[in-house]
Each structure stands twice: as structure tokens, then as C-alpha cells.
Structure 1
């Protein structure tokens, strides 16, 4: 089976490494330099004290893909550009999306592919350089079919034990629950510049996260709030030393997924005429911090 992965970030590299043990994998990168490095040196995964190198093919994403299954592992803002201008390049029998937020869902009805799946990644991963990724926390990847046959993705059940997949019937709730984790952790850790664990161990930060959580669950009219809150606490505890992707983006002066995460929440609140003062306030602060970082570059 030929597997293609668009995106040479932490998630894309981690997925490519584990799939390469069983399948023919091609990583489609943004830069020619990264593609050349991956082809020359291979893809190295660090997991605890173990270090393994995997052989993958890589090329810049400048022409049509030619694979059986295509995984799209880019940030939400890059995905929007791909779906608007380069959808014709996504040549595959089946496509799976691995994004934070839910902004991409509105584009799915316009896609020609017969088999489309959505997924959320619960692993901890940190990209060290163009050919090295650290698997900082072993979790699972939840996935659900948006259109097509579930059996098309049956190969997911034969992947490496360190990179398991779990099927979920309700794709919308799966994405909303992942959104809740991102909303609760990413903007606050980026604003406060603290690792994930401090959101539950530092009482004032925990209180702020609880207030944000209750506002967002009200906007989406989410039931089972206690279960989702406990999941968020568990994520913070299991990734206590990790710095969220949004915090890493801020520190590196990169664009963040603020609009795809908190911006999406505010859009839904406006549509439903529900007040969102905490989300709006936090969004404004983070937007200012992001602009400040862009100005300093």
C-alpha cells in the first residue's frame, strides 16, 4: 500500500515513521531542503531512551500526489489554502484529515474523494529538526469516517503498538471533544508561557481554565461535561512537562492556530447569539501576543 503524508511537522513525521514499518511512505514537505534531508538521512524517532531511524521517501508538495491513502497533517491555516487552491493535487483513493479545530469540515462536501475520514491525534510529539521527531507521549489516534466505507481504512488496525488507532462512530463529537482540549490548554499556556501541567497544579491557572471550559461547553451545549473535564485534566497531567504547540509557535515567532481554535468558538457563539466574554478576551490577548511576535521577527 502506498501512503502519502502531507506535512513535515511533528505529527506528520511521527506518523510517517510508524507507517514506514509496514508500508511504502512518501512525505510531502513544504521545503525542498527537508525532502532532501529525509531522503538522505532517513527519519529518526526518539521515544524515551530508544532512537530508531526509518527509511521514507520525501518530496516537496508541488505536484499531484499518487498514493492509495493520503493523510493531511498540516496546520489549519495551511489546510485552508490547500483546499482552496490545490485540491486537484490531492490524488488518492482515500483521504484522512488530522487537524486541530473544525474549520476544515465546511470544505469536505466539495471534495471529489469517495472515502474521507477525520482524526484527532492524542500523542505528544515534538519536532527537533527536519529529520528528527521526539515521541514525548504515547497516546492514540481517534478516527471516524465522514464519507465512504470504514473498511477502506482497515489497515489502521495493523499499525505499530506505539501508534494505535481507535474508531469512533460520531465524528462531530470526536472533533468537538478534541477542540475542548485545545481550547482549554493551548491559548492559556501560550499566554502564561507555562507547560501544560501548571494549568492543573497552579490553583489560579486551574480556575481560569475551568471558567473558560464552562463558557465553551455552554456555547456548544455539550453534555457529559464532567467526563470531558476529567479528560482535559488527564491530558494536562500526562503531558505535564510539555509545552503546547501554540506556546511553541509563539516562542518561535510563528503563526498560531488561534483562529482555528478560539476563533472558531467565537464564530459559533456569534451564530447562536450566545455571549462569550472570556473567549473573546483571551482571543484578543493572544492575537496581540501573536502580532507582537511577528513584529519582532
Structure 2
């Protein structure tokens, strides 16, 4: 089987490494330099005290792909550009989206692919350099079929125990629950400059997170709120030492995914004429931090 991974970030590299154990994997990168290094040195994964190097192919994403399955592992803002101007390059029988947020859903129905799946990644991953990724937390990847047949993705049942996939019937609930996790953890940790665990370790931070939770849950009409609230707090504790992707983006002066996360919530609120003062406040602060780092849009 030929598997393509579009994106050479932490999630893309981690996915590529585990997929390469049972398939021929090609990573489509933004930069020529990264592709050359991956071809020459392989892809190294560090998990605890164990370090393994995997042989993969890599090439810049400048021409049509030629794979059985494509994993889309780029940031939401890069995905929007691909799906609006370069969709003809995504040549594959099946495609799986690994994005945070829900902004990409509006484009999925326009795709010509016969089999489309949506997924959320619950692993911890940290990119060290162009060819090295640390598997900081072993979790699972939940996935659901958007269009086509489940059997088109049957290879997901044969992945490593360190990189399991769990099928979910309801893709919308799956994405909404992941969105809630991202909405509550990412902006607050980025602005407070604290690891995930601090959001539940300090009462004032937990109270602020709870206020945001109630606002967003009302906007998105979230059911089973107590279960999801407890789930978010559990993730904070389980990943207590982790620094969220948005915090790392702010620290590195990179563009964040705030538009895919909080802007989506604010848009939904405006559609329903529901006030969203906390979400709007946090969104503005994160955008300000982006401007400080030179990555405001």
C-alpha cells in the first residue's frame, strides 16, 4: 500500500513513522531541505527511552501525489489554501483529514474523492528537527467516515499498539468534542504561558476555563456537558507537563490556529446572535500575540 502524508510537522512525521511499519510512505513537505534530509537520514521517533529510525520517501508538495491513501496533516490555514487552489494535486483513492477545528468541513463536500474520513489525533507529539519527532504522549486517533466505505480504511486496524485508531460513528460529535478541548486549553495556555496541567492545578485558572467552557458549550449546543467538562480536565492532568501547540507557536513567533478554533466559535455565535464576550476577548489577545511575533494575518 502506498500512503502519502501531506505535511512535515509533528503530527505528519509521527503518522508517517508508524504508517511506514506496514506501508510505503511518502511525506510531502513544504521545503526541499526537509525532504532531502528525510530521504538521506530517515525519520527518527523518540518514545520514552526508545529511539527508532524509519525509512521513508519525501518530496516537496509541488506536483500531483500518487498514493492509495492520503493523510492531510497540515495546519488548518494551510489546508484551506490547498483545498481552494491545489485540490487537483491530491491524487488518491481515499483521504483522511487530521486537522484541529472544523473550518475544513465546508470544503470537504466539494472534493472528488470516493472515500473521505475525518480524524482527531489524541497523541502528544513534538517536532525536534526536520527528521526527528518525540512521541510525548501515547493516545489514540479517532476517525469517522464522511463519504464512502469504512473498508477503504481497513488498514487502520493493523497499526502499531502505540498508534491505535478507534472508529467513531458520529463524526460531528467527535470533532466538536476535540474542538472543545482545543478551545479550552490552547488559547489559555498560550496567553498564560503555562503547561496544560496548570489550568486545573490553580483554581483561578480552572475557574476561567470553566467560564469559557459554559460560553462555548452554549454556542455549539453541546450535550453531555458534565462528561465533556470532566474529559477536558482529565486531559489537562494527563498532559500536565505538555506545552500546547498554540503556546509553542506563540513562543516561536509562528502563526497559530486560533482562526480554526476560536474564530469558528465566534462565527457560530454571530450566526445565532449569541454574545461571545470571553471567546472574542481571548481571540483578540491571541491575534495580538501573533502580531508581536510578526505572524499576524
Could you say which residue in structure 1 is the equivalent of 2:25? 25
Offset from partner CA, 1:190-228 (integer Å, 9 cap, x none)? 000000000000111111000000100000111101111
Could you say which residue in structure 2 is the equivalent of 1:260? 260
**How many Å separate the matches in 1 of 2:8 and 2:202?**
34
Q: Secondary structure in 2 aligned to 1:65?
A: coil
Structure 2: tracts of 5 or more residues without a match: none
- TM-score, L = length of structure 1: 0.99
**How many Å separate the matches in 2 of 1:54 and 1:207?**
44
Q: Secondary structure in 2 aligned to 1:226?
A: helix
Give how far 1:238 is off: 1.0
Could you say which residue in structure 1 is the equivalent of 2:117? 117
Q: Does 1:137 align with 2:137?
A: yes
Give how far 1:230 is off: 1.2
Give how far 1:52 is off: 0.5
Could you say which residue in structure 1 is the equivalent of 2:181? 181
**How many Å separate the matches in 1 of 2:235 and 2:36?**
35
Give how far 1:295 is off: 7.2
Q: Is contact 2:255–2:295 with CA below 8 Å preserved after alignment?
A: no
Matches within 5 A, 1:27-176: 27-176=27-176
Give how far 1:109 is off: 1.2
Alpha carbons of structure 1 residues 6 and 270: separation in structure 2 relative to 1, 3 Å = same
Matches within 5 A, 1:234-273: 234-273=234-273
Alpha carbons of structure 1 residues 163 and 203: separation in structure 2 relative to 1, 3 Å = same
Q: How many residues align?
A: 296
Give how far 1:143 is off: 0.2
Q: Secondary structure in 1 aligned to 2:71?
A: strand
Structure 1: tracts of 5 or more residues without a match: none
Offset from partner CA, 1:60-92 (integer Å, 9 cap, x none)? 000000000000000000000000110000000
Alpha carbons of structure 1 residues 280 and 68: separation in structure 2 relative to 1, 3 Å = same
Offset from partner CA, 1:7-40 (integer Å, 9 cap, x none)? 0000000000001111000000000000000000
- TM-score, L = length of structure 2: 0.99
Query: Does 86-95 or 274-283 show the bigger shift?
Result: 274-283
**How many Å separate the matches in 1 of 2:93 and 2:69?**
6
Q: Secondary structure in 1 aligned to 2:204?
A: helix
Offset from partner CA, 1:137-190 (integer Å, 9 cap, x none)? 000000000000011001100000000000000001100000000000000000
**How many Å separate the matches in 2 of 1:164 and 1:231?**
19
Spell out structure 1 runs of 4+ moving beyond 6 A: none
Q: Secondary structure in 1 aligned to 2:83?
A: helix
Q: Is contact 2:254–2:295 with CA below 8 Å preserved after alignment?
A: no
Q: Secondary structure in 2 aligned to 1:278?
A: helix
